[in-house]
Amino acid sequence: MTTTQVLTDQTIGTGSNIGGNLFPQKVTLAVASIAASISIRCTNGAGLPADIRAPIVARYAFSPVSVAAAAAPGLLGIGSRYLNLHPQNVPSGDTSSASLLSDATGAYLYVWFEVPPFLVAASLNAFVVEL
């Protein structure tokens, strides 16, 4: 099993860190990997999310060919899978979510995010776990 952290304490929810297709990441999977999972964790700032019904969405897609991480949402978005995370409605609250294990149908896994507005910035961590 291999774990790769793809985002580390990324500020989200304010300024230019709101919207879709944010923080695209590319993970080259180990040759022996047969499956992978995405795990994300949001830590609220001192305030609350602007709308607790609006989730943070991690989109991910496998590919047998290498593409630039920034191009992945446009090239692979139509067939991507997603993982929703609804932040807690408490200041400084932590929330985590993990996807089901997915067959690794290519040598590369691409991850990008959709982030709703927050009243005070939050932080996001994301991991890829390979089997």
pLDDT tens by residue, 51-95: 778 899 999 999 999 999 999 999 999 999 999 999 888 888 899
pLDDT score for 88:
84
Using 50, 70 and 90 to split pLDDT, how confident is the model at 101?
A: very high
Give domain 2-130's CATH architecture.
Answer: Sandwich (2.60)
pLDDT score for 52:
73
Q: What is the mean pLDDT of the chain?
A: 93
More confident residue, 1 or 48: 1
Share of the chain above pLDDT 70, in %: 97
Separation between Cα atoms, residue 10 and residue 126, nearest integer Å: 9
pLDDT, mean of residues 7-32: 95
Separation between Cα atoms, residue 85 and residue 3, nearest integer Å: 20
Residue 30 backbone dihedrals phi, psi, to 5 degrees: -65, 145
The answer to whether 79 and 61 are in contact (CB under 8 A) is: yes
Asked whether the predicted pLDDT for residue 33 surpasses 80, the reply is yes
The answer to whether 109 and 128 are in contact (CB under 8 A) is: yes
Asked whether the predicted pLDDT for residue 34 surpasses 80, the reply is yes
Strands 56-63 and 35-43: unpaired
Share of the chain above pLDDT 90, in %: 79
Separation between Cα atoms, residue 72 and residue 63, nearest integer Å: 9
Asked whether the predicted pLDDT for residue 109 surpasses 80, the reply is yes
